[in-house]
């Protein structure tokens, strides 16, 4: 944080409003679900031709989708909110009623709501439940709701925006209008939510990424496919190099694999059967091959490729663990409506590695991987607020492969690891990969949002499907266990998170440009270039501002671009072979000899500290 962004003493003692630890507490669910019904009732009062579809609570609020011949405007949202206030102040009871399917169908037809008929057809349980707001309005719903609208606080509710949405999320179906809103327990929480929302806009990585010149998107290239500028590429390279050096210390071996592979490879792994809708369409050499699903697809995951490298020769127990690592770019066919800046893209790079171990090595190697992930989180300054999720299978689901025995062994290994380390953890049933359970690291950022970053998975199933072996000490052939791991996860998502976490103000070691020299006039330009050359020679990413602008503008531009170190060079600095240092982290440091500046910058970078 720069000095100008630090809070004043009066702000520091100001009462802080805390939002609920989770914005999906049971009470908030009831408030938001009921408020969505109140909104739908208000809309149909003001726009009688509008038909309702679905209206759930969501993270931080609620929405309702409407089929209306009139396009809703911002002015309409204000009118709808006023009508909602009137409904709430009527203190209407919220009444649950159970009816038969036939009665539900009769009532729906009576009010001519065709979307509700489709929703009714999807409800398998009986009796059918509906919720009434007083005697005036009702909808199909399973709840939960508050008991009376008097439990809602109009001053803790706001309507936020209107967006387009397709019925059932299907682009071939009717286009609807979705009204988003937010609802809280009290006005103070709404105020705090709005403050955080404004702060999120200030930190938005899409905005900052453009302002700082890190990446762009092109309609001609396609959505979800970021293009990295020189500065953004530097940022990626710094992160990659940091992790590569850590991996080398820990015995990882780098590999490179293709961007496409045969469908048969993914059939063997099970990805084709379990993951097909997320793969880019197959490329077949002819119609016959296409009919037999024989062709190539863009790589959506790296593990089957690394398995082929392991299997290329017979391995001995003496070689294990074998740790194969790759910054592998993968491609997944995300729906266009789900894309979002760098955090949800169609082409992204994983810091992937696959470790092949004997069963006896599993526990110690798993702990080594966790140690690496914790080290990464700490270096990135994300270790202040994180927790571990044990992502296990849902025994009632059929989306998983492999035997119960294999799953039990894998899940037990993860439990042993977190218990050995004494880690704060919780279980996420149904969050496992289809081939094995995971330990996911969930990080809470500066805006209290949660992100999954690093992950480590135990896999007994892919070694079985690919018939992997190693020669054991007694000469027999045995099956290795695989560990899948990615400390960063997606490099794109990580950078998006870091941009927002740091508000674009990267720590010195990570900043694409670490130092900018600001010559007061052209007379000092040659000296500035000599100093930059010395900086670059010892690995400092430095540049000279050669624009010729006045010093005030040079400083403002560097501040705007969030350059960590600015070095002003005037006649005095040239004469004394020194630099007048100004930093974002610690403000003005005064005039310092060049060699001392270089030594201090180098030491700060080495220790992941600001100058």
> Which residues form the catalytic set?
303, 332, 350, 352, 354, 438, 484
Cα R_g (the chain), whole angstroms = 29
Do the Cβ atoms of 354 and 482 come closer than 8 Å?
yes
CA gap 548, 521 in Å, rounded: 7
Burial class (CB within 10 angstroms; exposed 0-12, middle 13-18, buried 19+) of 339: middle
CB atoms within 10 A of CB 607: 10
User: Which whole-number Å values give the CA distances from 482 to 162, 350, 357, 431, in the listed order?
Assistant: 47, 17, 6, 19
CA gap 501, 155 in Å, rounded: 30
**Tokens encoding 175:** 């286009």
Residue 158: beta bridge partners? 182
Q: Is 525 left (phi over 0), alpha (psi -120 to 50) or beta?
A: alpha
Q: Which residue has the tokens 């009204």?
A: 179
3-class SS letters over 453-505: EEEEEEECHHHHHCCCCEECCCCCEECCEEEEEECCCEHHHHHHHHHHHHCCC
**Tokens encoding 424:** 């704060």
Do the Cβ atoms of 62 and 29 come closer than 8 Å?
no
Torsion (CA) 329, 333, 336, 341 in degrees, nearest 10: -20
CA gap 119, 111 in Å, rounded: 15
Alpha helices (H) in 204-228, listed in sequence order: 205-211
**Tokens encoding 49:** 């031709």
Residue 386: beta bridge partners? 443
User: Rounded to a whole number, what is the distance in angstroms from the first to the last CA of the chain?
Assistant: 13
CB atoms within 10 A of CB 152: 24
- The length of the chain in residues reads 611
User: Which whole-number Å values give the CA distances from 511 to 135, 236, 478, 499, in the listed order?
Assistant: 61, 11, 47, 11
CA gap 540, 508 in Å, rounded: 10
CA gap 346, 333 in Å, rounded: 6
CA gap 560, 599 in Å, rounded: 26
CA gap 342, 216 in Å, rounded: 10
For residue 304, how far is the Cα from the chain centroid?
Answer: 25
Q: Is 422 left (phi over 0), alpha (psi -120 to 50) or beta?
A: left
**Helical packing angle, 362-379 and 230-249, nearest 10°:** 140
């Amino acid at each position: 944080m720069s000095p100008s962004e630090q809070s004043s003493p009066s702000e520091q003692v100001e009462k802080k409003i805390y939002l609920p630890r989770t914005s999906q507490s049971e009470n908030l669910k009831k408030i938001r679900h009921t408020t969505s019904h109140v909104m739908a009732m208000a809309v149909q009062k003001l726009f009688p031709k509008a038909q309702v579809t679905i209206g759930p609570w969501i993270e931080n609020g609620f929405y309702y989708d409407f089929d209306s011949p009139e396009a809703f405007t911002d002015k309409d949202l204000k009118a709808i909110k006023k009508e909602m206030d009137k409904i709430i102040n009527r203190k209407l009871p919220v009444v649950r009623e159970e009816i038969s399917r036939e009665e539900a169908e009769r009532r729906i037809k009576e009010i001519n709501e065709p979307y509700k008929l489709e929703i009714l057809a999807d409800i398998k349980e009986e009796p059918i439940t509906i919720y009434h707001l007083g005697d005036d309005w009702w909808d199909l719903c399973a709840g939960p709701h508050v008991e009376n609208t008097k439990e809602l606080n109009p001053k803790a509710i706001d309507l936020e925006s209107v967006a387009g949405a397709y019925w059932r999320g299907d682009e071939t179906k009717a286009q609807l209008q979705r009204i988003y809103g937010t609802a809280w327990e009290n006005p103070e929480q709404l105020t705090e939510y709005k403050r955080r929302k404004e702060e999120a806009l200030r930190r938005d990585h899409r905005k900052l990424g453009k302002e700082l010149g890190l990446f762009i998107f092109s309609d001609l290239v396609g959505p979800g496919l970021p293009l990295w500028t020189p500065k953004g590429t530097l940022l990626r390279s710094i992160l990659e190099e940091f992790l590569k050096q850590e991996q080398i210390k820990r015995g990882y071996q780098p590999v490179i694999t293709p961007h496409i592979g045969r469908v048969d490879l993914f059939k063997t792994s099970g990805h084709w059967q379990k993951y097909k809708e997320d793969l880019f369409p197959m490329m077949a050499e002819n119609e016959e091959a296409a009919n037999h699903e024989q062709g190539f697809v863009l790589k959506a995951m790296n593990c089957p490729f690394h398995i082929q490298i392991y299997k290329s020769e017979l391995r001995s127990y003496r070689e294990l663990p074998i740790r194969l690592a790759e910054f592998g770019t993968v491609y997944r066919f995300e729906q266009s409506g789900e894309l979002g800046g760098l955090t949800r893209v169609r082409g992204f790079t994983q810091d992937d590695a696959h470790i092949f171990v004997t069963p006896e090595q599993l526990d110690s190697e798993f702990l080594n991987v966790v140690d690496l992930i914790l080290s990464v989180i700490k270096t990135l300054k994300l270790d202040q607020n994180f927790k571990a999720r044990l992502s296990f299978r849902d025994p009632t689901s059929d989306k998983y492969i492999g035997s119960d025995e294999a799953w039990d062994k894998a899940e037990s290994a993860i439990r042993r690891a977190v218990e050995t380390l004494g880690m704060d953890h919780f279980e996420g049933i149904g969050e496992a990969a289809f081939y094995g359970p995971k330990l996911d690291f969930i990080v809470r950022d500066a805006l209290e949002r949660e992100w999954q970053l690093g992950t480590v998975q135990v896999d007994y199933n892919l070694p079985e499907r690919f018939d992997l072996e190693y020669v054991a000490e007694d000469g027999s052939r045995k099956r290795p266990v695989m560990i899948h791991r990615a400390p960063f996860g997606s490099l794109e998502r990580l950078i998006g998170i870091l941009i927002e976490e740091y508000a674009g103000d990267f720590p010195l070691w990570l900043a694409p440009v670490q130092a900018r020299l600001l010559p007061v006039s052209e007379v000092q330009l040659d000296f500035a270039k000599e100093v930059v050359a010395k900086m670059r020679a010892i690995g400092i990413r430095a540049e000279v501002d050669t624009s010729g602008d006045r010093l005030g503008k040079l400083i403002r531009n560097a501040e705007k671009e969030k350059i960590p170190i600015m070095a002003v060079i005037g006649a005095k600095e040239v004469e004394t072979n020194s630099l007048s240092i100004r930093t974002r982290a610690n403000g003005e440091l005064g005039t310092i000899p060049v060699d001392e500046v270089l030594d201090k910058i180098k030491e700060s970078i080495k220790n992941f500290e600001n100058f």
